[in-house]
Amino acid sequence: MKSYLKLVNFEFNRFAKIFAVLLGITLVVQIAGVIVLSKMYLNMANEKIYEELMPKAEFLSNFGQMSFLSITRSVWFLGPIALCIAGVGFYIFLIWYRDWFGKNTFIYRLLMLPTTRLNVFYAKITNILLATFGFVGFQLILIPIESTVFRWMLPKEFRVDMNVKEIVSSMPELNILFPNSFLECILYYGAGFMVVSILFTAILFERSFRWKGIFVGILFSLVAVAVFMSPLLLQEFVLNDFFYPLELFVLEIVMGVIVLAGSIGTSGFLLKNKITV
C-alpha cells in the first residue's frame, strides 16, 4: 500500500507541470471569455439604447437578458474543456511511452522496484483518474468565480443569475463529466476506468510483443468490448427481450466488472512475464 501511494505521488509530480499548464489555460481563457462576451453584449446594448435610442424595455424584450448560458455555449468556455479532455486522452498513452522513450529508459527502474509490478499499473491508472477529477473539480471552483466576474460586468437588469447547479445541468453535453447523482458518477467514471484499463492492456501488449502486439492489443480491445456488450446483443438478437430492463442493467454492471478484472489480470501477467525493455 505504501509503495503504491509513493508511486502515485511520484507519477503525479511528473504530470504536475502539464496539469498546471492546462489549468492555467482554462482559467485565463474562460475568464477572458466572460469578460469579452459580456463586453460585446454591453456594447450592443449601448449602441441600441444610446445611438439608436431604443427604449431599454424594448431592447430587453427584443434581445433578452444575457445569461451565463451564452458563455457556457461559447468556444471560450468549451474550448479549454475540450483541450483538457484531449490532454487526458493523450496522456493515457504518454504516461507509458515516456518511460521507454524519455531520457534514460525509466521503466527499467520502475520494474526493478521491490514491489509487485502491478502497482506501477495501478499508480498510472490512478493518475489518469486523479487528473480527470482534478479538471472537473477545478471547473466547479471556476464557475462561481466566473459568475462573480459576470455579475461585475453586467448591471442587474441585463442579466439572468443562475447558480452552479443550474449552469452545470443546462449543459447536457457535459453531463457525463458532472453526473447528477452519486450512482451516475460511479457508473460513468467506472465505465471510463474500464476503458482506460483496456487501453493500458493494449499498450502493454504492444510493449511486450511490439508490432505483433499492436494486433493482439486491438484484438484484445475488440474482445473486451464484445464481452461487455454481450448481454445487450443476446437480448436483442437471441433472447427476444427476455430480460427486464433493470435485470439487463445489473448484468451490464457485472460484465463491466468482469471485463475490468480480466483486463487488470492480463496486464499483471504481461508486466510480470512478457514485458520487454
Looking only at the bridges linking them, the beta strands covering 66-67 and 159-160 are parallel
Span interacting with other proteins, options 40-48, 81-89, 110-118, 164-172, rule CB under 8 A: 164-172
The distance of closest approach from Cβ of residue 137 to other proteins in the complex, given in angstroms and rounded to an integer, is: 4
The reply on whether position 8 binds other proteins by CB under 8 A is yes
**Cβ-count burial of 125 within 10 angstroms (0-12 exposed, 13-18 middle, 19+ buried)?**
buried
Closest CA to 206 of 274, 262, 272: 274
The distance of closest approach from Cβ of residue 130 to other proteins in the complex, given in angstroms and rounded to an integer, is: 7
C-alpha cell, 7: 508511486
Span interacting with other proteins, options 79-87, 182-190, 211-219, 269-277, rule CB under 8 A: 182-190
The reply on whether position 163 binds other proteins by CB under 8 A is yes
Minimum CB distance to other proteins smaller for 145 or for 257: 145
The reply on whether position 265 binds other proteins by CB under 8 A is no
C-alpha cell, 166: 443550474
Three-state secondary structure call for residue 163: coil
The reply on whether position 145 binds other proteins by CB under 8 A is no
The distance of closest approach from Cβ of residue 182 to other proteins in the complex, given in angstroms and rounded to an integer, is: 7
Closest CA to 235 of 222, 224, 250, 245: 245
Minimum CB distance to other proteins smaller for 20 or for 277: 20
The reply on whether position 134 binds other proteins by CB under 8 A is yes
Span interacting with other proteins, options 97-105, 178-186, 213-221, 268-276, rule CB under 8 A: 178-186
| Residue whose entry in the numeric block shows the C-alpha cell 443569475 | 161
Cα–chain center distance at 237? 33
The reply on whether position 62 binds other proteins by CB under 8 A is no
Three-state secondary structure call for residue 66: strand
Give the start-end residues of each E strand in the chain: 66-67, 159-160
In angstroms, rounded to a whole number, what is the distance separating the alpha carbons of residues 229 and 26? 36
Q: Give the interface size with other proteins as a residue count (CB under 8 A).
A: 37
The reply on whether position 57 binds other proteins by CB under 8 A is no
Residues making contact with other proteins (CB under 8 A): 8-9, 12-13, 16, 67, 69, 130, 133-134, 136-138, 140-141, 160, 163-166, 168, 178, 180-184, 187, 239-246, 249
